[in-house]
Amino acid sequence: MKEGIEQAARIILDSKLTLALTGAGISVESGIPDFRSAGGLWSKFDPMEYASIEAFRANPEKVWEMLREMEHVVGRAEPNAAHFGLGELEKMGRLQYVITQNVDNLHQRGGSSNVIEYHGNASTLSCLSCGNQYESDKKKDDYPPRCRCEGILKPDVVFFGEAIPQDAMNRSFQLASSAEALLVIGTSAVVSPVNTIPSITKNNGAKIIEINKERTHLTDTITDVFLEGGAGDIVSQLVEEVRREVGRKE
């Protein structure tokens, strides 16, 4: 592991444009289970019945049964060492952007300012009728939360059947085609279209650093350095090694 951490640190230090691609695995240590895991949201609620835009439009009160549970879990989560570590790398000028599939706002709270969100963010709610937007915290005592026009509010996250935000997709593809290094953290990168980002960066000649608890389809195909384990521990070690290397060169 030590050799892998050192190799990954050198890749980051040699890169002029480094990105991080994150998924549910980076937030597990914050108490948010992967929705697809045995204890995740989809084991209790059929996503097509509760998490599609058609379901929300047809019966928003029913969908809020699932959203209320999601809100309870996400609302009490705090950034973990991996989120803070990526924030530190950004402050050091060694990480330029985080591209995330998560909606929990933990990257921003962990110190990352350049965050591209593929699936939106649960910290705000919008009215599909009139377009008004509200902070989730200000509506947490309302169930279901309503707009001043009496419409039931929807979290600003991408439901099944909704398109990925065009700006997020275009910007991430543009960055991926120019990146020199990519950190893949807590994701198996199988969900389209975000799953194309590792191959886009690799085709550009970038180095891929993968941090996951188990091997994925990327590990034996395009990954250059595979660091197996929890995101919090490994990202913390990586930040410390980058800091040590910078200190040696100064």
Q: Which residues are catalytic?
A: 119
Which residues touch 163 (CB under 8 Å, ≥6 apart)? none
Helices (H), 99-196: 106-109, 166-176
Cα–Cα distance for residue pair 131/56, rounded to 1 Å: 16
Collapsing DSSP states into helix, strand and coil, what is residue 96?
A: coil
Which residues touch 219 (CB under 8 Å, ≥6 apart)? 210, 212, 226
Bridge partners, residue 211, by sequence: 185, 227
Contacts of residues 131-138 at CB distance under 8 Å and 24 or more positions apart, as own/partner, are 136/71, 136/75
CA triple 208-179-32, angle to 5 deg: 60
Which residues touch 78 (CB under 8 Å, ≥6 apart)? 30, 31, 106, 109
